[in-house]
Structure 1
Amino acid sequence: ASHNPPQYNGIKIFEKDGMAYDEERQKKIEKIIESGGFRLVEWRNLGRVEYGDESQLYVDMVLKSLRLGKKWQVVVDPGCGATSHIAPEIFKKLGCEVKAVNAQPDGFFPGRSPEPNTESLKPLAKVVKELGADVGIAYDGDGDRVAFIDENGGIVDFDRVLAAYAAHVLKRSKGGAVATNVETSMCFEKMVESIGGKVIRTKVGDVYVAEALKKFGAVFGGEPCGAWIHPKHHYCPDGILSSTLLLKALEDEGKSLSEFVAEVPAYSIIRRNIRCGNEAKYAIVERVRRLLEESFPDYKEVSTVDGVRLSLKDGWVMVRASGTEPLIRLTVEGESLKTAERIMDKALAAVKRVAEGLESESCCSGSG
């Protein structure tokens, strides 16, 4: 993942419409590489390579997508990542007054962590407040995710701004469906369903959201990590496009960012990562469902779209295996912090019981 620390690396492959390769196609490529089932040629026999100015094509695409009527004061933080040059340029061409920080490309990310989160966004929040700017915008390493700071220097909740923007798109399109993953806050449903929209829940991962957008003809999709997909333009999460479209939404509704998000109910989400081996994480998720159902006997619904997710009368709990790291991701949400903490305590105990049982089985099978 591009937001991982600098020692991680990887290759992303996309379809011509911008959608990432799904897991099945990725595994086929991995199999070809591992088996050596490909042909090598001498350097002099390589095919032709064409170099184009894709950066300029992208800038042109964004500028053709919208016009801003207000001279926004924007603080842009690319985090020394891929958006370091292009994001400030686009906002300037849209007529914004731009202050850029951490805008020197550097794969070691000296300015801050490449993942925009509460801790890494604190310096940006401070700059926004000191300058009296309208908004702060931060991107992850490759620019497909975005985070926002409001005009008061407050770090905007990822789930709530996603829900607010989804509702805005639905109002503009006069209804329809929007897609998000199973980890997104229940405030998403509250906002979407209150204006007659439909929510489609998918596995965690932007490729699954993109697939749902195509399959159901949904008008918008996004994940609470800041990855938003705008099918009118393409099927790849796009941080720069998302941030410009958010400013346009604020103009259309005549609101500041804090006012835009204030309409979304605030619930309490707690996320925990439990480190374990790649093989063990899948075994734990397979076995934990029964214990979760016993721990929450009044649950309303069970989903196995991605891991195990129980809907409760006052929140929900989900356990799933990370797709990129040796971790189990445990997420709970409650109508209050006290409720969320109670749900988390029970869920954590269930996961630990399953993990201890697996460890005991492993010891027994390895003895004698």
Structure 2
Amino acid sequence: MTSYHINPAILRAYDIRGEFGKTLFQLDAYFIAKAFATKVIRKTGNKNPTIAMAYDGRLSSPELQAQVQKGLMSAGVNVVNVGLGPSPKLYFAVRSMELDGGIMVTASHNPPKDNGFKMMYEKAPLFGAEIKELGNMAASGDLIDDIKHGSVEKKDIEGKYIEKLLTAFEGGLLNSKNLKDLKIVWDTANAAASEVTKKLVKKLPNENIIINGDIDGNFPAHHPDPTLAENLQQLIAEVKKHKADLGIAFDGDGDRVGAVDGQGRIIWGDQLMTLYAEDVLENNSGAEIIADVKASQSFFDAVEKLGGKPLMWKTGHSYIKNKLAETGAPLAGEMSGHIFFADRYYGYDDAVYAALRLINYFVKNNIKPVAAVDKLPKTYASKEYRVPVAEAIKEGIVKEIRAQVMASKAKVIEVDGIRVIEGGGWWLLRSSNTQSVLTIRAESNSESELQKLITKINMLLKPYHVSLSDDAGH
């Protein structure tokens, strides 16, 4: 069996990503797909499993997806190629057709030159050590060859996917006056969810305005990451220009959602989760609701007040998705805009579905987005800082600062890094799973207390010759 070396730097915690032509190459796609197929065959015991594949709008995606198809077929896989579109369309194909797995060619919200792969076994994401194992399998030639039995079928599932998305609306709300009265601006960022969104809004009775609606892998308007305020400025301007009630934004592969209200205020991930929790707990009293360790304390308090059981968990969409499946929770989400609904949906992160559930919330409760945001608790939170440090020392820094904090008898939550409760609020320090950075965030009940927390964090970082001013953004 031929062996092949894959750059270990592209084998990340949640997926595979690299710069096409520099760290990621066409043959990587072939061998990654072949290794993934081998894992699926061994896991399922099915010598000829059926695996779906899809690809996003990046310039390198068509050639990479061709190699993925070849790699899967070379191991005897029956390939269902659902074509260009967002990652959730691939997830829908796997779940709705009860397939053995799926592989998506995407680098999510990374720069245009990057690309990569996301994979899933049946209902579960492939991540962590299993991703590293793909590289080991390729390097050792531990791969199945069965080219005679491989096959491919191209399948258009977009119509069925859109039908499923529309089930986000309860009862007759899809045709209600409250929905007809909402004016919405959608920013699809020239990314993978663009075509689905254009077709979807034609089925809605209200006025919808789409910006950056043509797929273009150069992302000419702005970077496709709705968690950064600078990437929402065009959307905010359009919402104000059209006097719209709501603005919706998607990331590069359509699995993360962002939103702004009619005044142009950003509705951050934990604020969205607070609204979603209210909606979900109405029919799931006492259920666990999961959010990552970066989320506001006001979210966890709100869930408890609503009669739910708040659960704080590790940052990372794969960790959150697995915890949702493990606990049977009906809802989970991250600050990053990955939202998982399992009450009336499949439990994977789908930005378009999440957007429709948000609209459903406003329509059902007969409340405009501005009024809903006004009702949310007022807190004072920092941005998410990402401070560059050497990969070799980043975890050591967290351990050393943890020891100092524990010695001070402060209350510490250690779900993921350290979340320290003090000063009328909290601060978080964790080692990034995907980059050579420390992730830091703080929140308090006043601006002055927040500044005190930030000053303390800088003091703790000083011995390592870094500070929050070194922030490299997202």
After TM superposition, is the score higher than 0.5?
Answer: yes
Is the Cα–Cα contact under 8 Å of residues 339 and 350 in structure 2 kept in the other structure? yes
Post-superposition shift, 1:328?
0.9
Post-superposition shift, 1:35?
3.5
- Alignment of 1:306 with 2:416, yes or no, is yes
Paired AA for residue 292 in structure 1: V
Whole-angstrom CA distance in 2 between matches of 1:54 and 1:259: 37
- Alignment of 1:349 with 2:448, yes or no, is no
Whole-angstrom CA distance in 2 between matches of 1:352 and 1:8: 34
User: Percent identity over the alignment?
Assistant: 29
- Per-residue CA deviations over 1:344-365 (Å, capped at 9, x if unaligned) read 2212321332468xxxxxxxxx
Post-superposition shift, 1:275?
0.6
2:137 to 32, 39, 57: 32
Distance 1:8 1:277, change over 3 A: farther
Which residue of the partner structure matches residue 291 of structure 1? Answer: 404
2:438 to 310, 328, 331: 328
1:206 to 310, 317, 323: 317
**Which secondary structure state, in structure 2, belongs to the residue aligned with residue 345 of structure 1?**
helix
Q: Which moved more, 1:198-207 or 1:169-178?
A: 169-178
**Which secondary structure state, in structure 2, belongs to the residue aligned with residue 14 of structure 1?**
strand
- Per-residue CA deviations over 1:294-345 (Å, capped at 9, x if unaligned) read 5xx362x222221122122511111111112221111111112221221122
- Per-residue CA deviations over 1:184-243 (Å, capped at 9, x if unaligned) read 111111211112211111110122222222222212111111111001311221100000
Which residue of the partner structure matches residue 47 of structure 1? Answer: 150
CA RMSD after TM alignment: 2.0
Is the Cα–Cα contact under 8 Å of residues 73 and 96 in structure 1 kept in the other structure? yes
Is the Cα–Cα contact under 8 Å of residues 178 and 221 in structure 1 kept in the other structure? yes
Is the Cα–Cα contact under 8 Å of residues 386 and 438 in structure 2 kept in the other structure? yes
2:266 to 143, 152, 155: 155
Whole-angstrom CA distance in 1 between matches of 2:153 and 2:465: 52
The aligned length equals 350
Is the Cα–Cα contact under 8 Å of residues 20 and 236 in structure 1 kept in the other structure? no
2:349 to 217, 230, 237: 237
Is the Cα–Cα contact under 8 Å of residues 177 and 218 in structure 1 kept in the other structure? yes
Which residue of the partner structure matches residue 137 of structure 1? Answer: 248
Distance 1:31 1:355, change over 3 A: farther
Whole-angstrom CA distance in 2 between matches of 1:345 and 1:186: 20
Structure 1 residue ranges, 4+ long, deviating more than 6 angstroms after superposition: none
Is the Cα–Cα contact under 8 Å of residues 423 and 444 in structure 2 kept in the other structure? no
- Alignment of 1:15 with 2:127, yes or no, is no
Which residue of the partner structure matches residue 206 of structure 2? Answer: 96
Is the Cα–Cα contact under 8 Å of residues 88 and 98 in structure 1 kept in the other structure? no
Which residue of the partner structure matches residue 66 of structure 2? Answer: none
Q: Give TM-score scaled by structure 2 length.
A: 0.70
**Which secondary structure state, in structure 2, belongs to the residue aligned with residue 175 of structure 1?**
coil
- Per-residue CA deviations over 1:122-159 (Å, capped at 9, x if unaligned) read 11111111111121100010111111121223222332
Paired AA for residue 142 in structure 1: D
Distance 1:46 1:87, change over 3 A: same
Whole-angstrom CA distance in 2 between matches of 1:243 and 1:255: 16
Post-superposition shift, 1:41?
7.1
Whole-angstrom CA distance in 1 between matches of 2:220 and 2:367: 35
Distance 1:7 1:352, change over 3 A: farther
Paired AA for residue 125 in structure 2: A
Post-superposition shift, 1:57?
2.6
Whole-angstrom CA distance in 1 between matches of 2:450 and 2:418: 17
- Alignment of 1:261 with 2:373, yes or no, is yes
Whole-angstrom CA distance in 1 between matches of 2:168 and 2:447: 40
Whole-angstrom CA distance in 2 between matches of 1:349 and 1:107: 42
Is the Cα–Cα contact under 8 Å of residues 186 and 248 in structure 2 kept in the other structure? yes
Is the Cα–Cα contact under 8 Å of residues 292 and 347 in structure 1 kept in the other structure? no
- Alignment of 1:3 with 2:114, yes or no, is no
Whole-angstrom CA distance in 1 between matches of 2:139 and 2:393: 23
Paired AA for residue 283 in structure 1: G
Q: Give TM-score scaled by structure 1 length.
A: 0.89
Is the Cα–Cα contact under 8 Å of residues 213 and 220 in structure 1 kept in the other structure? yes
**Which secondary structure state, in structure 2, belongs to the residue aligned with residue 189 of structure 1?**
helix
Q: Please identify which structure carries the higher strand content.
A: 2
Is the Cα–Cα contact under 8 Å of residues 287 and 354 in structure 1 kept in the other structure? no
**Which secondary structure state, in structure 2, belongs to the residue aligned with residue 85 of structure 1?**
helix
Is the Cα–Cα contact under 8 Å of residues 298 and 312 in structure 1 kept in the other structure? no
Q: What 5-or-longer segments of structure 2 have no aligned partner?
A: 1-106, 467-474
Distance 1:25 1:172, change over 3 A: same
Which residue of the partner structure matches residue 362 of structure 1? Answer: none
Q: What 5-or-longer segments of structure 1 have no aligned partner?
A: 357-368
Paired AA for residue 16 in structure 1: E
